């Protein structure tokens, strides 16, 4: 089931250790305050929200994050939360707010945010998709850099197919028997033989990073993104929440290992090693691992010699 950026962020926050979501119950009178009656309590202290961040995912301050004051961050008699810096606008009633500990929700004070870690987790996982390239009459080499900027290695390609536009919808894609990877810096290519015409489509079956295969909140379905990663709160990816927790754990501990006392950093580095082993195991057991065909380009090609020397017979040249 697809999940949104907000779903993933909150799941990672639970993994990191602290995450609260509430709605404001009154409009704020100060730009550096929000009012949540859920925190009216005689059992809570003013420092209850020490070392935490307040985030507004939607509303007039959508995407803004502020650190909550340490000494006087909470007035438990009214449920008023005070931040160290003001938000751009007053926060009205019924506005969703989220409080995070351990790590901020977005990049803040030099720390990577949970949203960043979500996209790094998606980037190391993959889905298998057939990606279309319009056929060009007699064209052998199809550059990939503009259409698929993330496709940079031959190991990312599973297979190459083609289909005529005149084929009925229920027809099966035909295997391109001869194709090979053509390195080219940031613009590699696929070379095919025989060529296809401009009434056909070439399909590159490839490992697509999940950070590129998304459902943008302004779109109509899943597809390749124009910009890598989930950018908006409602953008969706296909990774299950359990996978985000297991694989994302390694990224959470990587970031936590950068901060705190040396003993704490050493503990987080140990936890990171354990989490990385669990992440690799999950990817091995859960993600798709199709068999790649290795013999997809002949070692020797027969070409007409007249193209080179004008001889009246064929020459055998290395492929």
Written as one string, the DSSP assignment of the chain is --EEHHHHHHHHHHHHT-EEEEE-SB--SSTTEEE-GGG--TT--TTTTTTEEEEESSSTTTTEEEEBPSSSSEETTTTEEEBSS--SS---TT-EEEEEESS-SS-BTTBPPHHHHHHHHHHT-EEEEEEEEE--TT--EEE-TTT-TT--SGGGEEEEEEEETTS-TTPPPEE-SEEEEE--TTS-EEEEES---TTEEEEEEEEEETTTEEE-TTSSS-EE-SSSS--STT-EES--HHHHHHHHHHHHHHHHTTSS-HHHHHHHHHHHHHHHHHHHHHHHHHS--PPPPS--S-SEEEEEGGGTT--SSEEEEE-
Residue 180, pLDDT score: 95
277: left (phi over 0), alpha (psi -120 to 50) or beta: alpha
pLDDT number for residue 165: 87
Burial string for 197-223 (b: 16+ CB within 10 Å, else e) reads: eeebbbbbbbbbbbbbbbbbeeeeebe
Residue 307 banded pLDDT, cuts 50, 70, 90: low
Q: Flag the least confident range among 14-23, 191-200, 296-305.
A: 296-305
pLDDT of residue 304: 56
Rounded to the nearest 10 degrees, the angle between the axes of helix 114-123 and helix 5-16 is: 110
Return d(Cα 76, Cα 79) in angstroms, integer.
Answer: 5
Cα 169-172-173 angle, rounded to 5 deg: 105
The confidence score (pLDDT) of residue 315 equals: 46
Beta-bridge partners for 75 = 80
Residue range 13-31, pLDDT digits in tens:
998 888 899 999 999 999 9
Contact present, 62 and 96 (Cβ < 8 Å)? no
pLDDT digits (tens, 9 = 90+) for 43-101: 999 999 998 999 999 999 999 999 999 999 999 999 999 999 999 999 999 999 999 99
Q: How many CB atoms lie within 10 A of CB 120?
A: 18
Mean pLDDT score, 235-240: 97
| pLDDT reported for residue 301 | 53
pLDDT at 305: 54
Amino acid 310: pLDDT: 53
| Domain-wise residue ranges, the chain | 18-101, 126-209
pLDDT digits (tens, 9 = 90+) for 146-184: 999 999 999 999 999 999 988 888 889 999 999 999 998
**pLDDT band at 303, cuts 50/70/90?**
low
Q: How far is CA 65 from the centre of its chain?
A: 21
Q: Per residue in 208-227, pLDDT tens? A: 999 999 999 988 899 999 99
- Burial class of 294 by CB neighbour count within 10 A (0 to 12, 13 to 18, 19+): exposed
What's the whole-model pTM score? 0.88
- The whole-number pLDDT of residue 117 equals 97
Q: What percentage of the chain has pLDDT greater than the value 90?
A: 80
């Amino acid at each position: 089931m697809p999940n949104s950026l907000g779903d993933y962020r909150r799941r990672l926050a639970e993994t990191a250790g602290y995450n609260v979501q509430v709605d404001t119950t009154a409009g704020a009178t100060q730009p550096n305050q929000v009012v949540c009656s859920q925190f009216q309590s005689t059992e809570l202290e003013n420092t209850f929200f020490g070392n935490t961040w307040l985030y507004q995912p939607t509303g007039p301050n959508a995407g803004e994050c502020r650190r909550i004051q340490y000494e006087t961050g909470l007035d438990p008699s009214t449920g008023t939360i005070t931040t160290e810096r003001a938000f751009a606008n007053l926060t009205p009633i019924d506005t969703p707010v989220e409080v995070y500990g351990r790590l901020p929700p977005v990049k803040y004070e030099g720390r990577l945010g949970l949203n960043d870690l979500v996209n790094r987790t998606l980037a190391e996982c993959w889905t298998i998709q057939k990606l279309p390239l319009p056929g060009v009459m007699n064209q052998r080499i199809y550059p990939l850099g503009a259409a698929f900027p993330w496709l940079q290695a031959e190991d990312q390609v599973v297979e190459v197919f083609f289909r005529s536009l005149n084929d009925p919808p229920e027809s099966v894609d035909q295997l391109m028997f001869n194709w090979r990877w053509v390195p080219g810096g940031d613009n590699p290519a696929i070379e095919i033989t025989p060529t296809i015409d401009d009434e056909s489509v070439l399909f590159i079956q490839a490992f697509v990073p999940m950070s590129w295969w998304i459902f943008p909140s302004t779109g109509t379905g899943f597809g390749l993104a124009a910009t890598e990663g989930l950018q908006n709160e409602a953008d969706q990816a296909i990774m299950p929440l359990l996978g985000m927790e297991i694989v994302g754990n390694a990224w959470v501990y990587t970031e936590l290992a950068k901060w705190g006392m040396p003993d704490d950093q050493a503990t987080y580095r140990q936890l990171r090693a354990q989490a990385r082993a669990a992440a690799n195991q999950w990817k091995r057991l859960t993600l798709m691992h199709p068999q790649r065909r290795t013999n997809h380009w002949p070692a020797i090609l027969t070409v007409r010699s007249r193209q080179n020397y004008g001889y009246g017979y064929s020459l055998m040249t290395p492929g």
